[in-house]
Structure 1
């Protein structure tokens, strides 16, 4: 079994039966059973021998095996204690894999990765996709790129452009920190058990510098949050949620040369930055 391709229906069924594993809906566990998808993810990660890579949620090792075979130095964080024994068995042939039990949102990731630059690869549980992505980005970790399996509708939101129905606060945040692109769609039949939705592999290459100049980053994201708080309202009205007076809002929008009757969902990153910088200048 150790030399078998783990990402196959037969092996996944065998491993689950042998170890009495029942996939947890609570933890969003869906194991890959298509080796071709694993290969595409590994290719998108562009891994080199000895390069540090962090995998979030290895499950029974279906994707981990592909990462290990690239020669990369794999650190896999698994929340489900039941799977630790499984991973010790399925990945026993690979001495370049380290399994750590814990919650990636609570662990000291820089310390775990020896304070070196690394890549992130993950088949993320749908229920916690956005918190994990935002935690990795906002923590300013030395990440070079992230290649993640997510729900397709989330991937579309991450790459969405202003004025489209998918464009939102997540779009702005991801595009502020990274250059994202969708690598491929993945049908439900590529997983066991099959989820009820289509997935997508998204690649996010971290930017060395943000695409817009922002004086106060916290203020920038405060403006972004306000812009999407009530999508059907004008930007002038949504800005009232920040506690600013009508006069202050008018002054900021005039300084930023922004029409407050537009909706926030039509704003580019540059326009959000212009509003935030104008707000900062009148404080």
Structure 2
């Protein structure tokens, strides 16, 4: 495999994210056509349009890359590719349908199972988060870092109510303040910028929901693992991971201890 600069892929993803945002805004709050997928989750004409345009543009720029997207039928050929685009055309489709401004576009590149570049873009909020391996993480071009939280009692954790039930925390429910935002990608971006201290979900999680957020957090100085503390691996045959736990390193260790007892 030839030497490769992740910053080159990041520049490509940033332009693609802006294209996605422009397409989304054509349909936002304009009653887009909606369908129900087999798992009962909604998809709109905006999701499909973004997926189609980005697949054409990105694979034209990187014809030797694989493709994994929520809105494209999966093709096992991606498993043979060293590098793969992983994206969610609209993360937070329900929020998009409801006219909320918290939907996001999440785009990433994985190299041999590890994310090397990622972008989370919220066009309605004009917030573009970006990170490439070894280059740090930014928000609208300015460096960002995870919070300095170390103590659970002082931490704000992004999670749904069911994630804070006793069965998920054998060592005791952590004394954090639970908060919530739509879109997994946006939640992870908020942790990367230090706006919140951590994020947890213990349900099986699709790779496209978390790929971009994972490198944002890691490049911002945080820790991102699956829900059991194992390293996140991407471009798997079945593209799901066993939940996600993210936080600054010492807080992550404290939370993980409660998960393992």
| Common fold by TM > 0.5 | no
Larger Rg, first or second structure (1 or 2): 1
TM-score by length of 2: 0.31
Greater strand share, 1 or 2?
A: 2
Higher relative contact order, structure no. (Cα contacts within 8 Å, ≥ 6 residues apart):
2
Please identify which structure carries the higher helix content. Answer: 1
